[in-house]
Structure 1
Amino acid sequence: MELSVYLQDLLQATVKQLIALQASALAGSDPEPLHQLRIQLRRLALLLELFEPVARWPEGVSSSRAEKVCRRLGMARDLDVLRDRLEHVFLPQLPEDEINALKGVRKQLKRERRLAIAEVEEALRGRRYLKLLARLQAWLKEPRFTSLGSEPLDAWMLEFHAPLISDLFLLPGWRSESASDLHQLRQRLKRCRYGLALSPGPHLLPWLAQLKRSQQLLGELNDLHVFELALDAGRSFQPDVTCPVLTSLVASQRQVALLQWRDLAAQWSTSSTRLSFHQALLAPVVGGLTRP
C-alpha cells in the first residue's frame, strides 16, 4: 500500500470519529465521549506530526493546534476521573463521619467541573477548532502529497517509528518513583503507543498491549497522586487526621499499583525485552489498514 493511500484513509477515519463524538462530548452528561474525543485528538496530533514528510498540509493545520485543543479538554477529563474514584471507589468504603467531612470536597469538584465543561464548550465550538476540522475535510477532498507519498508503506515504517522510541528507555521514570518522572514516562508511553497504533502489523499487537498496561499503571499512580493533592488543596483539615480510612485506602491502592509497576518496569528494562521490542519494530508491516 502506498503511503498516500494509507495516510488518507487513516485521516478520514480520525476526522469522522472527531465529528461523530462532538455532540456527545458537548452534552457533558456522560464523560466517556469526551475521553474518546481526546484520544482521537491525540492521534490526530501524532498523525499530523509523524506523516508531515508525506503530506502537504494546508495553512492552519498542524500537530500543535490539535494538541492545544486536547489540552483545553484535559481539566474536565481529570475532574471526571477524580469524581468517579471518590464517588464509586472510596465513598462506599468510608464511615459516615468521613463521608460528611468530604461534603465540601465533593461540592468543590462539582463546581470545578462546571467551569471545566464551559472550557470544553468554548474549545469545541471555537473558531480555531472548527477551522481545523473544515480544512482537514477540504484536504481529504483534494489531498496533496510530497513525492514520498508514492512510496510503499512498509518500506518506511522504521523511519516513522524511530521518533517514538528514540530515548524512551533512558527516561528516569523507569528507575525513579518521583511523581514528575513517572508522569513524564507515562506521557511518552502514551505517545509511543498511539503512534505505533497508527501503523501496526499483527506482530506489534502484543507490544501495544504491554504499552497500554504500562500506561494504565502509571495513570493509576498519577490519578492517586492528583487525588491526594485535591484533598489537600484549600482544606482546613488534614486528610490523614479527619479521614484516616480514606487516607489508608489511597495509600493501599498506591502501594499495589507501585508494586505492579515495579515488576513491569523490571521486565521492560531487561536487554532481552528491549531487543525483542526493537526487532519487532524492524519487522515489515503485515496485514491491512488498522484504524484507530
Structure 2
Amino acid sequence: MKSDSNQSANTVGDWAKIALEKHFQTTIQYEEDVLSDRDPEALHQMRVGMRRLRSVAKGFAPALDLPKAARQSQIGQISRSLGSLRDLDVLLETLETDYQDTLPDGEQEEFKRALTLLKFERNQAFDAVRETLNSEIYLSFKNSLAEWLNSPSFGQMALLPIQHILPDLLLPAVSELFLHPGWLLGIKTKKGKVKSDNLTETEVQELFAHQGETLHDLRKQVKRVRYQMSLFTKFYGEAYSEYVEDLKEIQEVLGKMQDSVVLAETLSRVLGSALPETLPTLAEKLLENRYLSWLEWQPLHQQYLKPQIRDHLRLELLYPIPSSKSKKAGGKKKKS
C-alpha cells in the first residue's frame, strides 16, 4: 500500500511518515557539523534525532514497512556510535566546569592526568563516529529512508484513523514502564501500601553499588515513553502534556544520578584505581551530588507509585480527542 502524500494527516500511516520525516531531517541537518567537530551541540541534536527516529520506528512498527537498512536495529547501531562520543563530551564538560576548580592542589595533578586520558579516548570516539558516518551502513540507512519517505509503504494497519489506534500504541509502552522493577527500589510496603523509604546517604550508595543499573534502565524506559507520547500531544488535553513534562523531569533527575555513577566509574578506570584513593575530594562530591539527586527523585517517585495517578494516566490515553478541541479539553491531572 502506498501513501498519498497530499491527504490530510488523519491515519496511522500519515502520522508515522510525519514523525519519521521530522526526525530524519533533524538528524541529517547536523551531519556536516558533526563531521567537522565544530560544535558539541550538533552532535547532541543528531544523537537525539536518531533516538527519536528509533522510537518512532518502534512505536509505529505494526503499521510500517521500512526497508531493512532503516529499521530499528540499524538506527540503534548508528546511534550508539554517536552516543559514545556524546557521553565523553558531557563527561569532560562536567569535570572541567563543575569540579576542576573545587579540588585541592594535591588532587590537581591526578585530575589533569584523567582529563588527558579522557581527551585521548574522546579523539578515538570521534574517529569511530567519522568512520560510522562514512560507512556503508549509514549511507544505506540515509538513502533507503529518504527513498521510503519519497514513496512510503505501509501495512494495512496504517489505514486506520490515528485516534482509533492511539490507545493501543501508547498503553503497552506505559504499562511496560509501570511494571519496571526500578520503581521498587528504595521503597517499603506495609499492609499492601507502597511508599518511598527514607534512605540515608550510605544506604543510597549501597543501593547504587548493587542495583544502580536497574535505575539506569528505568531512565531509558522513561525516555522511550516520553518520546513516544510527545508525538501525540495534539490529540490530548492539558493533563496529557503535564504527564509528558513529568516524564522529562523524571528522565533528567535519574540522569543526574547516573551521570555521577558514570563519572566515578570512568575516572577509576582511566586512572587505574578506585576513585577515593586517587581523587578523594571528587569522589566525596560525586556521592553528595548523587544523594541530592536521590532526594530530588523522591517526590516524583512517590507520586508515580500512587495508583490514582497511574489510573488517571491510563484513562487519559484511552480517550484521544480531535486536535481542534485538544486545547479546550482535559483537565489537569490530580496530584493527590
The structure having more radius of gyration, on CA atoms, is: 2
Q: Is the 8 A contact 1:268 1:274 kept in 2?
A: yes
Please tell me whether residue 193 in structure 1 is matched to residue 226 in structure 2.
Answer: yes
Residue of 254, 257, 262 corresponding to 1:221? 257
Residue in structure 1 matched with residue 169 of structure 2 by the alignment: 160
- Partner in structure 2 of residue 252 of structure 1: 288
| Cα distance between partner residues in 2 of 1:60 and 1:242 | 46
Q: 1:279 aligned to 2:312?
A: no
> CA contact under 8 A between 2:250 and 2:300: conserved in structure 1?
yes
Contact 2:24 2:50 in 1 (8 A): no
| Counterparts of 2:278 and 2:72, CA distance in 1 | 46
Structure 1 length-normalised TM = 0.92
Residue 143 of structure 1 aligns to a residue in which SS? coil
Deviation for aligned residue 1:111: 0.2
Choose from 30, 41, 45 the match for 1:21. Answer: 30
Report SS of the residue matched to 2:25: helix
**Contact 2:118/2:270 (8 A) holds in 1:** no
Distance 2:68 2:96 in 1: 45
What is the CA distance between 1:237 and its match in structure 2? 5.6
Q: Provide the C-alpha distance between the structure 2 equivalents of 1:244 and 1:53, rounded to a whole number of angstroms.
A: 52
**Contact preservation (8 Å) 2:174, 2:225:** yes
Deviation, structure 1 residue 234:
4.5
Aligned AA (1:20): Q
Distance 1:166 1:128 in 2: 34
Which whole-Å CA distance do the structure 2 matches of 1:237 and 1:43 have between them? Answer: 37
Percent identity between matched residues is: 30
Paired position in structure 2 for 1:170: 179
SS at match of 1:166: helix
Contact kept, 8 Å, 2:13 with 2:154, in 1: the verdict is yes
Partner of 1:206: 242
Superposition TM-score, scaled by structure 2 size = 0.81
Give the corresponding residue for 1:129. Answer: 138
Q: Does 1:38 align with 2:74?
A: no
Task: Decide whether aligned partners of structure 1 residues 285 and 194 sit closer, same or farther in structure 2, where only a CA change above 3 A counts.
Answer: farther
Question: Which runs of 4 or more aligned residues in structure 1 lie more than 4 Å from their structure 2 counterparts after TM superposition?
Answer: none
Match of 1:89 in 2: 98
SS of equivalent to 2:126: helix
SS in 1 for 2:30: helix
Higher relative contact order (CA 8 A, sep 6+): 1
CA deviation after TM superposition for structure 1 residue 284, in Å:
0.6
Q: 1:151 Cα deviation (Å)?
A: 1.8
* 1:3 maps to 2:36: no
Instruction: Give yes or no for the alignment of 1:184 onto 2:220.
Output: no
Deviation per CA, 1:163-195: give whole Å up to 9, x if none: 312232222211224211101111111111111
Amino acid at match of 2:311: L
Shift of 1:235: 2.5
Aligned CA distance change for structure 1 residues 98 and 27 (closer, same or farther; 3 Å): same
Partner of 1:240: 276
Q: Give the conservation status (yes or no) of the 8 Å contact 1:157–1:285.
A: no
8 A Cα contact 1:214 1:264, kept in partner: yes
RMSD: 1.8
Q: Does the residue aligned with 1:184 lie in a helix, a strand or coil?
A: helix
Deviation for aligned residue 1:242: 4.2
Q: 1:135 deviation in Å?
A: 1.0
Unaligned segments of structure 2, at least 5 residues: 1-9, 186-206, 325-336
Q: Distance in 2 between matches of 1:22 and 1:38?
A: 10
The amino acid of 1:259's aligned partner reads L
Count of aligned residue pairs for this structure pair? 288
Kept after mapping to 2: 8 A contact 1:54/1:145: yes
Label 1:199 to 1:101 Cα distance change in 2 as closer, same or farther (>3 A).
Answer: same
Cα contact 2:167–2:318 (8 A) shared by 1: yes
